[in-house]
A and B are shown apart, each in its own frame.
Chain A
Amino acid sequence: MDRSELETLYRRMLVIRRSEERLQKLFADGEVPGFLHLSIGQEAVPTGVSHHLTDRDTVSSNHRGHGHTLAKGVDLTGFFAEIMGRATGLCKGRGGSMHVADLSKGMLGANGIVGAGIPITTGSALALKMQGGGHVAAVYFGDGALAEGVVHECFNIAALWSLPVLFVCENNGWSEFSPTERQLATRLDRLAAAFSITYRGVDGNRVEEVAETAGALIAGMRETPAPAILECATTRVRGHFEGDRQDYRDAAEIDDLDARDPLRLAADGLIAAGTAEAWFAGTLAEVDAEIEAAVAAARSAPDADPAGMLSDVYTVEA
């Protein structure tokens, strides 16, 4: 991977990081209603995967979906407006953080139901295969979702029917307030082997490693449709949701967060490859300006209008 490509990846991760830091502040200030599940620390996963996806390729996501959404190229202004519950949101303020979708970008939605994106993406992969053209579908889910039945159903079906679906597990070691070992009696590589599905495990905090591995899997799936499982070991820096005090987590586990920070790891790589200090400063300023513009637009937009609640329940109104 050359330096400019790495810079692209770094910039994408920075957009996700700074957007979520901004959301964190907006939430604390009461400007974001509802729950907020931040993916700070996990930015390398969707950045690396979506690097190889076009708008025709589809993704779906889970409750911790901001990174997945932004990595798919969804417009920042509509994104902030949605999470802030404004009429100009991508989903007219009806979905919020857990349901951001942009079908024009192949983003089939975040999801409030753990594991639910998996059959939806499997169906999307089936459609893409039937339509021809070498497109693929990817789904992001946490290690916690591995305990849900639909995951096992879909591993089976995707393998039986050779569907071009990339199952991306973000294993951050936590399923809400419970560690993975209290949730899962096996390991994902073993599950993959049981279903005869190609498995790759990567350091999910190293964007280059995620991108290279995902890239190879996706290229293969475009040639010959078949599922693959990509397990990314990563880190959930914040609590399960904003406001979670994380008293169930011991200090040692959070100790070396900085050393595992995907942005820091990518920056170290870029600096070694010769990227100048000024580039980092300039990129940060640019990204922050884009985010501030999106926040300002959302703030000046009207709140979602209750009068519109009955529209879009059905495509054609009765």
Chain B
Amino acid sequence: MFLYAVWYLAFLYIPVLFLPLFSFNDSIYVTFPLKGFTLAWYGDMMDNPALLRALENSVKVGLTVALLSTFLGLFAAKAMTRYYMPGKGPLTSFIMLPLVVPGIILGIALLVITNLLGLPLSLFTIGLAHTLIGVPFAMLVLMSRLEGFDKSLEEASLDLGEGAFQTFWRVTLPLAWPGILASVLLTFTISFDEFILAFFLAGNEVTLPIYIWSQLRFPNRLPMVLSLGACILVFSFFIVTFAEVVRRRGVGPQSGAAI
């Protein structure tokens, strides 16, 4: 059983680890045997204005999407976990729907409507599409966080004469912040990596995955793409691990006592 688990992990990791391995290889062909060690491809990457521009766009879109979807997810999660509402189940499935509609269909549906409305394709349209898939993730993370702490703390604040907004600001928000931070990081990563929606909705300004896609056609650009991939791998690893640790902090029996 343990042996199987190790094999399976190898199956998951080996393809991904070829990217950093060949990014240090001193040859434009991705073949064995490896040639010398070089950092040239990383240098190429840093000197590439188109790439840096795409990176900047991705970060811009990612940050906006992260904040917007966390904001919307927080509203929904608060309503779902704190109020008695008929039709909660169907509502949850409704918000989760973008996760089960194939990305290509969401992408072209959004393309069709931007076209009918006469909106130009831009980073803005990519951002809207990414918010659509960011909200369900944000809501899932925030709902589990809001369910994780004691509702009576909010009730106590209301009983002691604080208004609804004050209670939210001074009780709910501080307690929910690990969830909020986790949601921001998660939705940022989702937007940063998302390709299919962006592919249909990109105008002249492209995001990083679209830039990578456009480079995959040119064999001589390959090593640079590999080093870029290696950087994204390391970066995503840190963000996701950090988000997971933050999310888990204080969830559990000690969370009440810690306050």
A, B bound: no
